[in-house]
Amino acid sequence: MNYMERAIESSIRHIKSTAASDPATLGMLRENAVLAILGTFRVSSKSVIQQHLGLRREAVNKLINRMKKKQLIVVHPSFANTDNGYILLTSHGIREAEFLLNRELHMRSDASRVNERNLIHDLSVQLVVLNLAKHQKISGFASEADLAVMLEHRANDPRLVDTVVVDAITGCKIAIEMETSNAKNKSNADLRKRILQKYLQELESNDGLYEFVFMYSHRQRFLTQIEKAHSRIFASNQSSFSETQQRLLSTSIKFKATECDLIYELMFNSKRQLGDDKSEVIQKDEFLKQLAELEKLAKNTQDRVVEIRLDGFREAGKVLGLLN
């Protein structure tokens, strides 16, 4: 079993186990979840942990402070994300995470190793993967850091992707790729062609690291631009891809626009109030659900009282910023 396989095998076990009847056990399970997240991804944030564990912000703050007192984690201030800070394991926390995950993590508690320019990108990847795990859509995953260890820390290795996950139903390995910048999307066909060649190398191989590529972003237009760029490359008279290769790439690369709002709301929306009992994205989802029910009731009953209530509900949504 190689390092990637060991990472996949141990990745889900502790991040999902957060239900317990007594407070002491529940607290321990939440701490283990944070240790497992940080041990796998190397860095995290309060917003990611809050979303994954489904906690109020106050509960997240208490959890993080408790772990800081135990000298398991350290929080570094930063202007690179909406939390204005990121979380790392201490040396003691690394040892605890290694024991929990039953593998050597090949990491050090060193803030200088965190590239803050990539912080939002890395946290967005983490958000997507943890959301897939939370909804039981994957049975395991290996982070980019895990892949780098397996590939002997070759930073320019073309096999590196943001994460590899295992589909819970089919068992297929899927590469997760995150686009948080427009730099590689428009007017850069050569770079996009090299990225396609990188994917093709794994997709054509019998023992490739993944069988599909799922692309995510906080902006749907980024995904649309990439899809159009691929079409232009394939349609070019000078395309280096055969028809078979084009079909393979087209059917294997999936654009996942459904997560755009979640990623934007938690990672990019600087106006989001971190102290609310629930994150704004959860409030908005609940608001839209209730709005749809009221609209259906008003249409079916044509009751004037219901219509007045619906108008008031819409106005409240506009005031709260939940409705345009």
| Calpha distance 312→304 (Å, rounded) | 12
Neighbouring C-beta atoms of residue 46, cutoff 10 Å:
22
| Complete DSSP assignment for 47-69 | HHHHHHHT--HHHHHHHHHHHHH
Half-sphere exposure (Cβ direction) of 35: Cα atoms closer than 13 Å: 30
- pLDDT score at 134: 92
Q: Give pLDDT tens digits along the chain (324 positions).
A: 788 999 999 999 899 766 677 888 999 999 999 999 999 999 999 999 999 999 999 999 999 999 999 999 999 999 889 999 999 999 999 999 999 999 999 998 888 889 898 999 999 999 999 999 999 999 999 999 999 988 886 666 778 999 999 999 999 999 999 999 876 565 577 889 999 999 999 999 999 999 999 999 999 999 999 999 999 999 987 778 999 999 999 999 999 998 999 999 999 988 777 764 444 555 667 778 888 888 888 888 888 767 777 776 676 666 555 676
| Calpha distance 236→195 (Å, rounded) | 17
| Calpha distance 87→76 (Å, rounded) | 6
Two structure tokens written together for 290: 């209730």
| Calpha distance 45→235 (Å, rounded) | 42
- Let me know how many helices (H) and strands (E) the chain has, helices first: 13, 7
Q: DSSP letter for 117, please.
A: G
Strands 163-167 and 173-179 come out as antiparallel
Strands 253-255 and 163-167 come out as unpaired
Largest CA distance in the chain: 69
Report the predicted TM-score, pTM, of the whole model to 2 decimal places: 0.81
Q: DSSP letter for 152, please.
A: T
- pLDDT score at 279: 46
| Calpha distance 73→111 (Å, rounded) | 12
Contact 306, 294 (CB under 8 A): yes
